[in-house]
Amino acid sequence: MRRLLWQGRVDEALLALRKPKGTGSPALGPFRELSDWVFCWYPGLQVRAPRGEIEVTTGLEGMRVLSAFLDGHADQQAVTRAEQVLRLCPMGDAALEPLTAALATLVYADRADLAGRWCEPLLEQTTTHCAPTWQGMFAAVRAETAIRQGRLLEAERCAHAALTHMPMAAWGVGLGLPLASMVAAKVGMGKYEDAARYLAVPVPEAMFQTPAGLHYLSARGGCHLATGAAQAALTDFLTCGDLMRQWGRDLPGIVAWRLGAARAHLELGRTGEARTLIDDQLALLGPAPTRTRGIATRLRAATVALEARPAVLEEAVEVLQISQDQLELALALAELGRAHSRLGRSHRARTVERRARHIARSCGAEPLIDALSQSPPRPGTPGAPDGAVPADPGDVGLSDAERRVATLASQGYTNRQISGKLYVTVSTVEQHLTHIYRKLGVSRRVDLPALLD
């Protein structure tokens, strides 16, 4: 049954089981390990995780620890148990599943920093001693932790190793895991054509019944955002949210779909909708300085008045330094520098942006490096000293069509409204905005100079 489910042959797998009379839920009976596995991988099948006290004694309880976390959402308890599994589990034929499940527990508990630390020695051992399946699985986990630590070059390398050690057909419904990491890495590095090629790889339809499908949808949404298709991105993130709530898995450590949707709303000029999603996400988080809290705080800065923005971004920087996501830290620093610049604090802006540029280079985040390399605001533009002549948008190479779109966007019109006013498609508006942002060195419409008109 597990082999059939891994291959996405769900109907055949269910036929292998007897079902309780009058229900559609599979009767796994005493098969505790299988129940844990199905509960983790196919939450839509509504198999209940076995209840009872968990005691980590052999290190082989990793899948049980993961299923208990997904069932009860007790972060700190899950982290403690997962690390116990990683310490005790003996390397051998039976160790692959408990070890990867323990690492997944750490990732989903929003502790990618811990998962990354445990991954390094495990990946070294598998490279030396283990079969290709082991090497592929651990490389995929390391790629995901590297993405969440903002280490794009490492994520690209590990995702490539995962797809090399195991052919794509062997990944089954798990294919979304290395593909998602690869796409996210390529997007962060500005290699959008490469990302599109990986998104064109056929994936099993049943993958979208599994957590791997959530990772894939999130990465695809990020690619849509980076290439100007904000509406398509919003659809992907909201689909993640729908699935996660249906499954009872609304955990930001799996996919912080509210924040992805908020980014899409910001691109579409819907600040109010973005603010609601960000505040909802913050309300669902505990007090710990997690990566998700840092990202949410960074995005929240885009929804407040310019004068209040530096304080919010400084909070985001502090949290992201603790949670150790280098790319998100660089983004927060870049936005903090931009806010200081727009408020006329040139010296502070240069200091912060210098640090952001250094971190972005270490991540391999070429689009961010390019944005930070843009010349500082000219006199008369927002953030420049007062009393000078406004800059001509033509000086930064905007075409006539781009200038018209930028002017309307800076005045608060949505993409659909701009489409109607200029008699072009919404997709064309989104493409123009992507080019405008790159040329002006900004990341969203709220940063567009108000003097474009």
The pTM for the full model equals: 0.81
Listed in sequence order, the residues at least 6 apart from 301 whose beta carbon sits closer than 8 Å to its beta carbon are 309, 312, 313, 316, 335, 339
In a domain, 422, yes or no: yes
Residues contacting 36, CB < 8 A, separation 6+: 49, 50, 63, 64, 66, 67
- Domain-embedded: residue 407: yes
Domains identified in the chain, total number? 2
Q: Are residues 360 and 403 in the same domain?
A: no
In a domain, 241, yes or no: no
Boundary (domain end) residue, out of 329, 355, 372: 372
- Whether 358 and 404 share a structural domain: no
pLDDT value at residue 139: 92
The answer to whether residue 391 sits within a structural domain is: no
Same domain, 309 and 364: yes
Same domain, 358 and 416: no
pLDDT score of 15:
82
Q: What pLDDT score was predicted for residue 75? A: 77
Q: Confirm whether 173 is domain-assigned.
A: no
Q: Give the number of other CB atoms < 10 A from CB of residue 215.
A: 25
Neighbours of 395 (CB within 10 A): 9
Q: Looking at residue 341, what is its pLDDT? A: 92
Question: Does a structural domain hold residue 433?
Answer: yes
Where in 15-86 does DSSP place strands (E)? none
340: containing domain: 304-372
Q: Is residue 428 part of a domain?
A: yes
User: Does any domain span residue 276?
Assistant: no
Of 399, 352, 398, 397, which is closest to residue 372 (Cα–Cα)? 352
Domain at 435, CATH number: 1.10.10.10
Q: What is the pLDDT along the chain (453 residues), one digit of tens a residue?
A: 889 999 999 998 888 765 554 455 555 544 667 888 999 999 998 877 666 678 888 988 999 999 999 988 777 889 999 999 999 998 887 888 999 999 999 999 999 999 988 987 877 777 655 678 888 998 999 999 999 999 999 999 999 999 999 999 999 999 999 999 999 999 999 999 999 999 999 999 999 999 999 999 999 999 999 999 999 999 999 999 999 999 999 999 999 999 999 999 999 999 999 999 999 999 999 889 999 999 999 999 999 999 999 999 999 999 999 998 999 999 999 999 999 999 999 989 999 999 999 999 999 999 999 888 864 444 334 444 333 333 444 445 678 788 888 888 877 778 888 888 888 888 888 888 888 877 776 666 766 764 454
Distances (CA, A) of 196 to 48, 49, 219, 220, 445: 37, 37, 11, 9, 25
So what's the pLDDT on residue 25? 55
